[in-house]
Amino acid sequence: MKETLLSNCERDFLLQAIAEKKRLDGRQTYDYRKMKITFGTDYGCCFVDLGKTRVMAQVSCELVAPKESRPNEGIMFFNIELSPMASPTFEQGRQSELSVKLNRQLERCLRNSKCIDTESLCVVSGEKVWKIRVDVHVLNHDGNLMDVASIAAITALCHFRRPDVSIQGDEVTVVSPKEKWDERYPSSDHVFFLSFCRTYLLVDPCEREERVMDGLLMIAMNKHREICSIQSSGGIMLLKEQVMRCSKIASVKVSEITELLIKALENDKKARKEGGRCGFAESMPQERITALKFEETSVEMTDVAERASDVVQGAEAPPLMVPSPVVPVPGVGQVGLGLQNTWGLEEEDDDEEEEAEECANRGEEGEEKVTKMEVERHKKDASREGQFT
Amino acid sequence: MSSALRDRTGEVLLPGDEFSFDTDDTISLTGPVKPEKVVCGPGLRRSGDRLLVCKSGVLRHKPPNMFWMDSQQRRYVPAKGETIIGIVTVKSGDVFKVDFGGSEQASLSYLAFEGATKRNRPNVQVGDLVFSQFLLANQDMEPELVCVDSSGRANGMGVFGGGGLLFTVSLGLVRRLLTPHSEILSDLKQLFPCELVMGMNGRLWVKSCSLQQTLVISNLLQSCDTMTAQQRRELFRRVAQGAL
């Protein structure tokens, strides 16, 4: 299905919001959405959620003959599947431009960065090596697929347990995967999506923001703050300082995400050791609505408050004088109840005030009575005006 | 049968539940007998002498004799007479193609605007939002839209929208907003002044005094889809306190 056209109204609104540094769901410009990592019952299966974008990665392995040119190294194979489940614009079976781009980027980032030591995948040199296959399935597309796919691939690789192999002469026996931890803990790589709209930089765009963006900068960095790959697409011209700034942002995010990843792996390991049930089914909340649900987002309310205070400030300043206490009975005083008018000037000023109110002219002067009532009246005026728009 | 239906009003029913004439429905032999008429709305279907439920949801009743299933979905199926928000995708000759979120695009003739003649064409660009109603909405034919009512007046329909935000919600929420004395709308009115256009295809367009308020309102409406009335009032109250 072809993508539905983005209306002019939405495009203008999004660009204007970005210019004012506001995002649709209340995030700051450099904020990530809420990330959640869960594991399946098998080793090597993991689900990663980033806001509404959802991706599943599965790692599997088999013994094969190695490549002719590299008899000592194992083989790694990556595959990203974009199915129509993720978005109506993805077609089954057809290699779209996006899927080619994602596949290339994932391969380049994970293979060339040598996050897995392929030499240790060798079993019998020249004859049998491990072929590790990482399949990434996109379950829901709400922007920033590259990031989530790379995090899912890395997490699945960390979670995976390779079966033990014992060699006796010419025989190679494979024992089922045990507790042996995969020694080469892949130094976590993360790809970061930084999108540019005109001259504004956004991190982690959601789907609508992606459609409005001009260009894209992807930085793959590991936790030792080494850049593994940078790719810029969309034809935007970037200055050196901008690229430096982006890499600094990326390094901050890498440490956060690596922490989250390690914590998730620890939790899962603990759960398995205790013999508790683990897996995808356990991570789903019971008896809760899971569709059409909105996560609690903190939407900034500060500007809205400013308008109200602007209204109040636009009014005349209240008098600094404190109304003098009324003493009905010796020993008892009454201050500022609002019932007693302590000003000497009476009726004619009252009428003036009524007129001023009816014209909804806050700027006109009127005699002020008590501070509180003044503020209330202005609020009432503002809300009345609001109702007429 | 209408008594059986009335008994189960407000219950959750699933597709496959049926209503049939009970054998011990008594008909008086002496007095005049009026044939009882039951009007079936969406989600109920007659097959033979049985009434079948074909959508899961809550059974609703409007006196004197109208029954329908109130169900929740996000996918819009066009129906004649409903007003929707569409996006103009193609402008070709005399006809605009409008995308409204359905399985195919609807056609909108350039003459179907108020005051449009062959010489005086309406000012519609690709990517504009139009508020229009369905003239023809069959499952076998391409849907047709018009921006005038039967007497030739616009009645609020036509091209709109500069400066607002368009977003999608479920169809049930839009129907709730469109009821005559909608609670959600009255709660919203007390928060911020805003302009709201509701399309029955699940699209809402909102515009308020400032960008921030527009974002707040759109987030509020999207999140009160699955909230009970109590939770929603609580949320609105928190927002109101935060604002003022």
ipTM for the whole complex:
0.82
> Within an 8 Å CB–CB cutoff, is residue B165 touching chain A?
yes
- Reported residue count of chain A is 389
- For residue A21, the chain B residues in CB contact (below 8 A) are none
Give the chain B residue nearest A208 (alpha carbons): B167
Of A252, A278, A253, A275, nearest to A265 by C-alpha is A278
The pLDDT value recorded for residue A199 is 67
Cβ contact B201:B84 at 8 Å: yes
> Within an 8 Å CB–CB cutoff, is residue B164 touching chain A?
yes
pLDDT at A261 over 70: yes
Question: By 3-state DSSP, what share of chain A in percent is helix, strand and coil, each rounded to 5?
Answer: 35, 25, 40
Residue A193 pLDDT grade (very low, low, confident, very high; cuts 50, 70, 90)? low
Residue B146 pLDDT grade (very low, low, confident, very high; cuts 50, 70, 90)? very high
Q: Do B226 and A7 touch (CB under 8 A)?
A: no
B176 Cβ contact partners less than 8 Å away, ≥ 6 residues apart: B182, B184
**Model pTM above 0.80:** no
Cβ contact A7:B127 at 8 Å: yes
Q: How far apart are CA A118 and CA A12, in angstroms?
A: 49
Residue B106 pLDDT grade (very low, low, confident, very high; cuts 50, 70, 90)? very high
Q: Do A7 and B87 touch (CB under 8 A)?
A: yes
Q: Do B212 and A389 touch (CB under 8 A)?
A: no
The pLDDT value recorded for residue B132 is 94
Residue B98 pLDDT grade (very low, low, confident, very high; cuts 50, 70, 90)? very high
Handedness of CA B116, B120, B126, B129 (dihedral sign): negative
Cβ contact A323:A372 at 8 Å: no
- For residue B215, the chain A residues in CB contact (below 8 A) are 17, 22, 24, 26, 299
Return the residue matching tokens 């049926």: B18
Give the chain B residue nearest A9 (alpha carbons): B162
Burial environment of residue A15 by CB neighbours within 10 A (0 to 12, 13 to 18, 19 or more): middle
Q: Do B193 and A389 touch (CB under 8 A)?
A: yes
**Alpha carbon of A207: minimum distance to chain B alpha carbons (Å):** 13
pLDDT tens track for B173-183: 999 899 888 88
Cβ contact A360:A384 at 8 Å: yes
Most confident range, picked from A220-224, A254-258, B204-208: B204-208
Q: Which amino acid does the sequence have at B243?
A: A
The two three-digit tokens of residue B219, written as one number: 């987030």
